[in-house]
Structure 1
């Protein structure tokens, strides 16, 4: 049996190798992702529900809709690296389809030769028995098809010469029109063609070179600070349109290295290295963040206050070592709550840690983890509110903490008070986080302003494109249709 592979737009899906290739780059896929993309390619343009995909791709195995959603998300993430994430189209309340030019290619497994193509043109044949009357030769062919031994009289020769000249003029005219048409079409295409290398000067792509908890936490801290003090949008997800790339890595001697590279001018705008010492960490990171923000804003008068939010260096060092709430495979890190509870035991009045615990638990609860419960979430909320009541002013709270208060009021059905906390959060930051827009969307949903709610959800997904964000937009506090 021949191997069946697929040419999808400019990419080649090799099913036997679980690989997707484009322009010399090769990405290895998980077998289930290969099978999903292969099935959609075989049925290009057809919309499939999650249940239908489970039947066809997972062979009817007992898996949840969440597995399909996660697989679609992972497939899109891979396609985004190839600038092809527009292939997979979500049809609201129906399912998914592949929107791309697909060509099925069959390969002989013994020789490696291509046998046939699904979208190939009609096959040619050397059998002339069914061709009927031959198509007449063109003008230039007829002009030169006269046998040499058949020399016409002079009068006939003149007529033939005139006829040849007419044919030549006709051919030249046709060729000239064809050349002019091709030149005009080429000019029109070049004039209207999109600029592939167009970069967004206000977009920063944050890259980390390892899965270190510290490195990821520092990257998230930088992202939060950029949102609070600049107009730059940043993301830890690859973005080929980003005007700047912020690279972070930690060397063996525990030194943090940061490099801000300008993808438009092709030069480095900012470079810095610092030693991650537990007793001086707050001062070092605060100085680093100030320098970075001043470089981006071109304003040396800008002062970043309370960044990092945790001012105790020893506690900050432990906080940066926390695992991420959601791992790379979209699964909940069970140790997250255990570790953050240990930090809270050592610092029970730190409102930021209390807010992070509350939000983290609400996210886990929304993702339907059976080890969580609403009573526990309410207890965490009481700890947070009790600590906040001791604060002199809500305006001194960071936007993340205010978002946690807004979420708590939304759970209790206090819409006006939830909106009040969100308004304060908006005042505390130049830009708002994905969680802010999710909560704003929930409030608009309650007010039956569904179109505006969906716009807020779209902003949240743009700021934090992940499976977690999709689930929160749909199911946080209540199910949104």
Structure 2
């Protein structure tokens, strides 16, 4: 049975010797640390919870989660000595993953190969191949000198096996290449995959924000609902590796056309034409969200409370609101004027107050001259007053707005409290939630953790607006997002 080793960012993880090797340097690992790193390398890029690691690395043994945490800590200590402490990524509230290039390497024990010969033979001379395993005393040196002058039969056999192995590999690779070229030539329909599609990533296609206020609002409601009720990641930014595409547009019959397309299986998962008016807005949109979530979760369980509105007239007016940020990235103060009119009709609607507070805070962050901090503070007070009057049902977006309001006031404990409540109301965190966690981490001197939160925000919403919020929301932050390029 072949030995399985791993090439990780130019380091060799030699599983049989419990060490990491590169260019004469090696670091010895404990067997459990070796097994942990090998498992993460075998499943590179996949996030594993502590329970899953216990099940797979510790073979389901009865150990506490603290054992996993301690093992990750010890592994990171070793990686830090190697200047490779960026390998292991912590995904908050989910687990850990290995985020670096990995190549599996199989070594046949019957060939007599050494791993150094297979990967970096140019770094060793023939003397290295036949050196003594023990310190060279007089008798040992004599044997070694004799070996240099007259190569032994064992060395010759090893060299013969080595070249036979290389020749066999060369023949196999040549035959494989010829087969691929022949199939490509004989069947033009065969297309080799260029990139792997992410089945959990959804690209939402809709017209520009200014083209249709109602369509843009429905698209945003769908995006928020997917974060709240599913584990799918949805984004308006172009996602070339998105496993699914959700298209929204108004057809010639003035109906809203919605299509959920699976890019992996090339099939339509959901297709509907719906008509929305002032009388049916709540029923139609809530029904649409139910069907969409059921299609994505592949079940028939009905989901309730998708919408933060119970008044269909209020919902219809909300759909008519313009976008808070224009296509050029500038603040749209007309949004504030419009939502203020709607709030006058619904003064204690916490969701509307939260939307206004978050929108105005974003406008303040991108330095719009028409905004001011005192107005933002007044909006925050109105939001706090509304939840004392309506404490029964609060969405995660309302809790995020309250967390942001407390962060502006410097109350980190209360801000973290509201973020924890937001996490209880939603399947996953939003980009804004991760930005707030990053800001709190910076204020509590957890810089590396803050960078991870900002990176997660950029992954969920790779836009210029998200980058600006990471850098300037509440206070100026020095962030490291060189690997995340905002897409417009």
- What range describes the TM-score normalised by the shorter chain of this pair? 0.5 to 0.7
| Aligned twin of 1:218 | 218
* Corresponding position: 1:325 with 2:324: yes
| Kept in 2: contact 1:227–1:429 (CA 8 A) | yes
Aligned partners of 1:189, 1:353: CA distance in 2, in Å? 59
Deviation at 1:185, TM superposition (A): 9.8
Deviations 1:70-104 (A, max 9, x none): xxxxxxxxxxxxxxxxxxxxxxxxxxxxxxxxxxx
Q: Which runs of at least 4 in structure 1 moved beyond 2 Å after TM superposition?
A: 179-190, 251-254
The answer to whether residue 415 in structure 2 is matched with residue 424 in structure 1 is no
Partner-residue secondary structure (3-state), 2:307:
coil
Residue 302 of structure 1: how far off its partner (Å): 3.6
2:471 partner SS:
helix
Q: Tell me if the contact between 2:207 and 2:216 (Cα under 8 Å) persists in the aligned partners.
A: no
Contact 1:206 1:246 in 2 (8 A): yes
Shift of 1:479: 1.0
Structure 1 residue 189 displacement after superposition: 11
Question: Which secondary structure state, in structure 2, belongs to the residue aligned with residue 258 of structure 1?
Answer: strand
Q: 1:183 to 1:298 in 2, by over 3 A?
A: same
Determine whether 1:269 maps to 2:260: no
State the Cα distance separating 1:182 from its structure 2 match: 8.7
Distance 1:464 1:189 in 2: 39
- Number of corresponding residues: 300
Q: 1:266 to 1:340 in 2, by over 3 A?
A: same
Shift, 1:253, TM fit: 3.8
Shift of 1:365: 0.7
TM-score by length of 2: 0.58
| 1:283 to partner: Cα distance | 0.7
Question: Residues 448 and 188 (structure 1 numbering): CA distance in 2 closer, same or farther, change over 3 Å?
Answer: farther
Identify unmatched segments of 5+ residues in structure 2. Answer: 1-166, 182-191, 479-488
Name the residue aligned to 1:386: 385
8 Å CA contact 2:431–2:458 kept in 1: the answer is: yes
Query: Residues of 1 paired with 2:172 and 2:243: CA distance?
Result: 38
What SS does structure 1 have at the residue aligned with 2:367? coil
Aligned-residue offset at 1:390: 1.3
Alignment match, 1:350: 349
The CA distance in 2 between the partners of 1:352 and 1:290, in whole Å, is 20
Match of 2:240 in 1: 240
Verify the 8 A CA contact 1:198 1:241 in the aligned structure 2.
Answer: yes
Match of 2:338 in 1: 339
Name the CA shift for 1:412/1:241 in 2 (closer, same or farther; >3 Å).
same
Counterpart residue number, 2:404: 407
* Residues 370 and 304 (structure 1), Cα distance of their counterparts in 2 relative to 1, 3 Å cut: same
Hey, what's the Cα distance between the residues in 2 that align with 1:205 and 1:360?
23
1:446 aligns with 2:437: no
Aligned equivalent of 1:304? 304
TM-score (norm 1): 0.59
- Could you give the per-residue CA deviations for residues 306-337 of structure 1, whole angstroms, max 9, x where no partner exists? x2212222221121111111111111112111
Structure 2: distance between partners of 1:304 and 1:422: 23
- Structure 1 residue 230: Cα displacement: 0.8
Q: What is the rounded CA distance, in whole Å, between the counterparts of 1:323 and 1:392 in structure 2?
A: 29
After superposition, the Cα gap between the structure-2 partners of 1:366 and 1:209, relative to the gap in structure 1 and judged at 3 Å, is: closer
CA deviation after TM superposition for structure 1 residue 183, in Å: 2.9
Q: Give the distance between the partners of 1:186 and 1:213, measured in 2 at CA.
A: 54
Q: Distance between the aligned counterparts of 1:408 and 1:474, measured in 2?
A: 18
Q: For residue 324 of structure 1, give the secondary structure of its aligned residue in structure 2.
A: coil
Secondary structure of the structure 1 residue equivalent to 2:329: coil
Partners of 1:451 and 1:224 in 2: how far apart?
A: 28
Task: Give the SS at the match of 1:389.
Answer: helix
User: Whole-Å Cα distance in 1 between the matches of residues 308 and 173 of structure 2?
Assistant: 62
Contact 1:227-1:431 within 8 A present in 2 as well: yes
Whether 2:231 is the aligned partner of 1:231: answer yes
Match of 1:477 in 2: 474
Which structure 2 residues correspond to residues 17-96 of structure 1 after superposition, within 5 A? none
Aligned residues of 1:254 and 1:276 also touching (Cα < 8 A): no
CA positional deviation for 1:342: 0.8
Q: Distance in 1 between matches of 2:219 and 2:373?
A: 31
Q: CA RMSD in A?
A: 2.5
Structure 1's unaligned 5+ residue stretches are 1-175
Counterpart for residue 52 of structure 2: none
Partner deviation per Cα, 1:162-217 (whole Å, 9 max, x = no partner) = xxxxxxxxxxxxxx99x969938958999xxx941421111111111453111111
Separation in 1 of the partners of 2:310 and 2:261? 29
2:375 matched to 1:376? yes
- Quote the residue 1:33 is aligned against: none
Query: Matched residue of 2:389: which SS?
Result: coil
1:207 aligns with 2:195: no
Classify 1:371/1:301 alpha carbon distance in 2 versus 1 (closer, same or farther; 3 Å).
Answer: same
1:183 to 161, 174, 178: 174
Instruction: Name the CA shift for 1:258/1:454 in 2 (closer, same or farther; >3 Å).
Output: same
